Amino acid sequence: MKKNKIVVVGGGYAGIKVIQKLAKNPHNEIILLDKNPYHYMQTEVYELIANEEDFAQVTLDLFTYCMGFKNNNVTFYKQEVKNIDFTNRKIITTVDRISYDYLVLSVGARTKFATNVEGLREYAYGIKALHRAMYFKQKFEMSLFKKVDESGTSCKPLSIVIAGAGLSGVEIAAQMASFAKEFYKNNNFLCRKLNIVLVNAAEKILRGMDDILVDKSIKRLVDLGVVIKNKQKVVALTKNSVTLSSGENIFMDFMIFAGGIEPNGLIYELDLQKNERGFLQIKPTLQVLEYERVFAVGDCASLYDKESNILAPTADIAEQMGELCADNISLDQKGEKLQEHNIKSRGILIALGRRYATAKVFGVYINGYFAYVMKKMIEKIYAIQLDRHSCVGCKY
């Protein structure tokens, strides 16, 4: 029997789920392409920055992971996809041209560094890519060390600005504030000043999220000493200052930009229909509008609910899209009708500093240490399952 060649571009939360399901069928030959050799668990970045986890704990080797499938039908190539010839079903990578029967696009998104903000690209740190998060983590640690080193001679506060108060901006602000608080306290340093300013364009942080979770998060941030500046945008940056739309100038040691995402370079190249923000338009079956055998899942595509509201791009949604995409490819292989999505957020868990979180899971609110343990458990179960699988691959 001829094997079906399925190529998955992007081994993030969505791509991994597609592979997990489709690899169960020995008649599928699956190729995973990713520009990085690892799967990056972005939902755990807050722990990486606070030194609670190292980079090995937030990554998974894609080579060994793909070697761990019992049907031996998944191959990983570390290659960046540059374009796709849909007419001839050929994927053009930096080094090769690869054919496919089915194609899954799961390339995620990237930080949107607005080009009209002077100095933004030059002086702000992003956290969506691992190398950027690592660079920023080291900068944070070095800045703390510098303050300790200066103790007794000067006591200038460490000033950090975070632009963007979505899930990632809020989590990072809370984690850094509570980490620094504990760090200074544990070591009885004389000089303990840390300023964290969270700049938010909307009226309230965490726009579009549940009001109770928003209020809990605001209270926690304020308790941790984070200053929230609502209805403000960053308009310009220099090495040590940020100018806001109100005209205010804030001194900073460094700034993190978490002000939004945009499609990555590949999506811009593809001759497929996109929405006004540049993300791929897909059918409720997760196929792109133009080709029956091309699917798009995760952050690179916009998913709408029945009321035409866009679903927030999260790992939870990306994983559910990945699972449905795999099911639909299997249905299509059998010549059966594809399923339309009924994907909803299963819950939201917001880490708010060390050992504290706020959450709404299947409609139930949870706060504090218990919510933190729950978030950690979900992340750990996810990581352990992947790790066990790649341990099998390690043996080859």
Ligand X SMILES: Cc1cc2nc3c(=O)[nH]c(=O)nc-3n(C[C@H](O)[C@H](O)[C@H](O)COP(=O)(O)OP(=O)(O)OC[C@H]3O[C@@H](n4cnc5c(N)ncnc54)[C@H](O)[C@@H]3O)c2cc1C
Q: How far is the CB of 248 from ligand X (least distance, A)?
A: 26
Burial degree of 165 (CB within 10 A; 0-12, 13-18, 19+): buried
* 360 is a contact residue toward ligand X (CB under 6 A): no
Task: Count other C-beta atoms under 10 Å from residue 358's C-beta.
Answer: 25
- Residue 367 touching ligand X (CB under 6 A): no
Output the furthest CA–CA distance in the chain (Å, rounded).
76
Closest CB 228 distance from ligand X, rounded Å: 18
The smaller minimum CB distance to ligand X, of residues 147 and 298, is found at 298
Instruction: Kindly determine how many residues on this chain lie close enough to bind ligand X according to the rule CB under 6 A.
Output: 34
What ranges in the chain are assigned the alpha helix state H? 13-22, 45-49, 62-67, 120-123, 130-150, 167-186, 211-223, 265-269, 315-333, 369-394
In the complex, least distance from residue 47 CB atom to ligand X, rounded to whole angstroms:
10
Strand order in the sheet with 158-163: 124-125, 254-257, 158-163, 194-199, 226-229
Task: Return the range that interacts with ligand X (CB under 6 A); candidates 7-15, 21-29, 274-282, 334-342.
Answer: 7-15
CB 177 within 8 A of CB 351: no
Site string for ligand X, 93-112 (x = CB under 6 A): -------------xxx----
**Binding of ligand X by 314 (CB under 6 A):** yes
Residue 320 is a binding residue for ligand X (CB under 6 A): no
Q: Give, in order, the Cα–Cα distances in Å from 65 to each of 72, 221, 380, 385.
A: 11, 38, 17, 11
> Which backbone phi and psi does 203 adopt, to 5 degrees?
-70, -30
| Per CB under 6 A, 299 contacts ligand X | yes
Residue 168 is a binding residue for ligand X (CB under 6 A): yes
- The vertex-165 CA angle with 123 and 124, nearest 5°, equals 5
Residue 206 within binding range of ligand X, rule CB under 6 A? no
Q: What x/- string results for residues 118 through 157 when contact with ligand X is judged by CB under 6 A? A: ---------xx-----------------------------
Q: Which parts of this chain interact with ligand X (CB under 6 A)? A: 9-15, 33-36, 40, 42-43, 45, 80-81, 106-108, 127-128, 167-168, 171, 264, 266, 298-299, 313-316, 318
